[in-house]
Amino acid sequence: MLRTSINGDSDGKTVGELWDGPGRGLRVVGFAPLSGDARLLIQHERSGRSQPLVWDLESGACNEPRVDLPGELVGSWYPHGKALLLRHHRHGRDELYRYDLTADQLTRLDTPRGVVDACQIRPDGSLEYQWSSGEHPHVLLADSGSQVLTPPTPAPPSVPLADAWVDSPGGRVHALVAQPRTDAPAATVFMLHGGPGGQVADGFWPARAAFVDAGYCVIHVNYRGSSGYGSAWLYADREQPGLIELEDVAAVQDWAISAGIADPDRCVLAGVSWGGYLTLLGLGTQPERWAAGVASVPIGDLVALYEDEMEPVREHDRSLFGGSPEELPEKWARSSPISYANRVQAPILIIASRNDPRCPIRQVDNYLATLTELGKEYESYLFDAGHFSLVVEEQIHQMALQLDFCARHVRPDSPAG
């Protein structure tokens, strides 16, 4: 439920309430950018996908833009408050539109095929936005088509991303495929996103480009639990978090093998954060599928994670699992990688932070100690930062560790063994 006050009230008086019912989110974007304007832009899920509406706190009226576009829409204000800038996101790509609130008119803005990471309307009404694609690195563009900023050392381009739609137990899964220039089945890295409610879109990702340059095919899976495909898909992993996502990963892997894209004996499972968690869980629950695993800032022991993490993250995890480990011990154990450590067959590289507030280090230590006790093959690297390092040299070092590890265990140029 949203409760809000206007005109600088500080007495806690509620001036408006909005509730769409259980299971339907509401998120505040911001008030109209005009002094004394009581209109509030929010995102809702009334239609099963994220869309904007304008809520007038003085009249109580809700104005939902009548936009007939599939996919999800995220709105922001034009400086004069008479129009909205809409980012239309569908199937991992973005378009920009201007919606005139007075005329109820939608106008598409000319943007290249790819992803808009950020966009802003300048006071004069012109648009600037950050854009990239799987092939082209990030640039800052203007609506005139010109490039606003030119980096002193531009990143080299990569390869374009191809779409794949694969049937899985939960429905059609969208995957994005980056292939090196070869016709033979390739060593393939299944690179899983974090979140869990994240997604991979057709934007530039240096880690993907590095693996492709090294000769690996890279496949991303927007499994159940990913954003960008509607509310039902976003919340579809609640029955058994982790295991649900891995069902979709397995379906995409089977498709990639049958399509002659991936070499079944040279498949690497890799991911960061929640993707790192899925990597450790997949290596234990699907040991026959993976030749190696690379898990960055992962989760290895869910119960220890819950005991050590911040309360806001605990709240998220209780929502995800439907309760705490004390309330649902079997469900948490079924989803915890440490429960399956004895089944791990592939070598693992684990990269973790000693000062990670989201994935505290004790749960990683527990997982590594269990691997040691079981005599499993693994390598680990610990660094001093938060959930990620923002130091460029450290990021490059971690990427080099991953490429070296994969080259030793899953060579990109010839089948293993």
What domains can be seen in the chain, in order of their start residue? 24-149 (2.120.10.30), 162-409 (3.40.50.1820)
Residues 6+ apart with CB under 8 A from 54: 32, 39, 40, 41, 62, 63, 64, 65, 84, 101
Distance CA 60, CA 63 (A): 10
According to DSSP, the β-strands at 217-222 and 26-31 are unpaired
**Residues with pLDDT less than 50, the chain:** 6-8, 415-417
Give the relative orientation of helices 274-285 and 243-258 as an angle to the nearest 10 degrees. Answer: 70
Given its phi and psi angles, is residue 274 left (phi above 0), alpha (psi -120 to 50 degrees) or beta? alpha
Residue 417 has a pLDDT of: 38
> What is the three-class DSSP state of 295?
strand
Residue 183 has a pLDDT of: 75
Asked if omega into 196 is within 30° of 0 (cis), the reply is yes
Distance CA 245, CA 263 (A): 22
Q: Of 358, 356, 337, which is closest to residue 348 (Cα–Cα)? A: 337
Burial of residue 75 (number of CB atoms within 10 Å: 0-12, 13-18, 19+): buried
Report how far apart, in Å, the C-alpha atoms of 110 and of each of 76, 141, 145, 210, 415 are. 18, 11, 8, 30, 45
**Residue 83 CB neighbour total at 10 angstroms:** 21
Which residue bears the tokens 């991953």? 402
Residue 186 has a pLDDT of: 95
